[in-house]
Amino acid sequence: MLSIRNALIALFFLTFLAACSLNPAKNDRGSYKGSYYVVEKGDSVYLISYLADKNVNDIISFNHLKPPYTIHPGQKLNLWRPVYIPPAFDGTGAGDSLVASTSTTKVAQKQNTSPVVKSQPKEYVEPQATQNNNKPVTQSTSSNDKVERWVWPTKGRVISKFSVGDQGNKGIDIAGQRGQDVVSTAAGVVVYAGNALRGYGNLIIIKHNDEYLSAYAHNDSLLITEGQSVKAGQKIASMGSTGTNSVRLHFEIRYKGKSVNPESYLD
């Protein structure tokens, strides 16, 4: 009887540990949910945008960050634009002035035959026509350096394909040999190189322009540093198994913060 009880207790703790491993503070495939993010040691705005599936330019704008976008542990970053709250009537007569001002404006508008052009806040970005997320990037971080194509980041068999949804694979996984070359898929600037994101091991994120990022996870060793410029096909890491149980490269392309199918871009 005692041995059965001990076995049940052991089974309970194993189940509890397994549940904890399946629900880390930062999900294995970066699906952070919430209206804000509290910065942790080792984070950068690019890593946070990658984790939260947000456009890095939005995070910079929402939080009024200035170059070089330095953030600090414990700092709270908004992931959504704050909701506008109209001013409340305070009973001091300000409401009468507002009505009078509004009436005057309407009269002036009727007398003015020219169309009224509404000014937008500096943070406002005019929505553009719907774009095809599978269209390859045509401009890199430098206006003088055009990216005509994306190259495969390594050689090997694709063992896990891209799939949509919160539980889907946000990129592709390529099997290979430990130590084989991992290269930059296109020209750009390294904006993250480290292992702060749980489940990704040694991770590299490269910014190609204001719309596109690429990411390379599970590397054995990193051969570049943050802020370094890289060319298409340049070796940036060696393949490994950090953060996973087999030798592989997990590769992603993000367009305005959202995952797209890398195989639609690669030559």
58 in any annotated domain: no
User: 138 lies in a domain?
Assistant: no
> For residue 196, what pLDDT is reported?
86
**What amino acid occupies position 115?**
P
The boundaries of the domain holding residue 180 are 158-264
Residue in the structure block whose two tokens are 């939005």: 58
Does any domain span residue 112? no
Question: What's the CATH code of the domain at 256?
Answer: 2.70.70.10
Residue 252 has pLDDT above 90, yes or no: yes
Is 255 a domain residue?
Answer: yes
How far apart CA 261 and CA 267 sit, in angstroms, is 13
Q: What is the pLDDT of residue 92?
A: 55
Asked if the structure places residue 124 within a domain, the reply is no
The most confident of the ranges 2-11, 122-131, 204-213 is: 204-213
pLDDT in tens, 55-68: 888 888 889 999 88
Region 245-266 average pLDDT: 94
Average pLDDT over the chain, rounded to an integer: 75
Kindly report the CA angle at 121 between 117 and 126, in degrees rounded to 5?
70
CB 59 within 8 A of CB 49: yes
pLDDT more than 70, % of the chain: 63
Instruction: Answer whether residue 211 is part of any domain.
Output: yes
Which amino acid does the sequence have at 3? Answer: S
Contact between 209 and 201 under an 8 Å Cβ cutoff? The reply is no
Per residue in 133-168, pLDDT (tens digit) is: 444 444 344 433 445 579 999 999 999 999 987 778
Which tens digit of pLDDT belongs to each residue from 1-57?
556 655 554 444 444 334 333 333 344 434 466 788 888 888 888 888 888 888 888
Give a yes or no: residue 178 inside a domain.
yes
Number of structural domains (the chain) is: 1
Residues 6+ apart with CB under 8 A from 41: 73, 196
Section 79-98 average pLDDT = 57
| Residue 189 structure tokens | 């600037």
Q: Does 73 map to a domain?
A: no
Residue owning tokens 């005692």 = 2
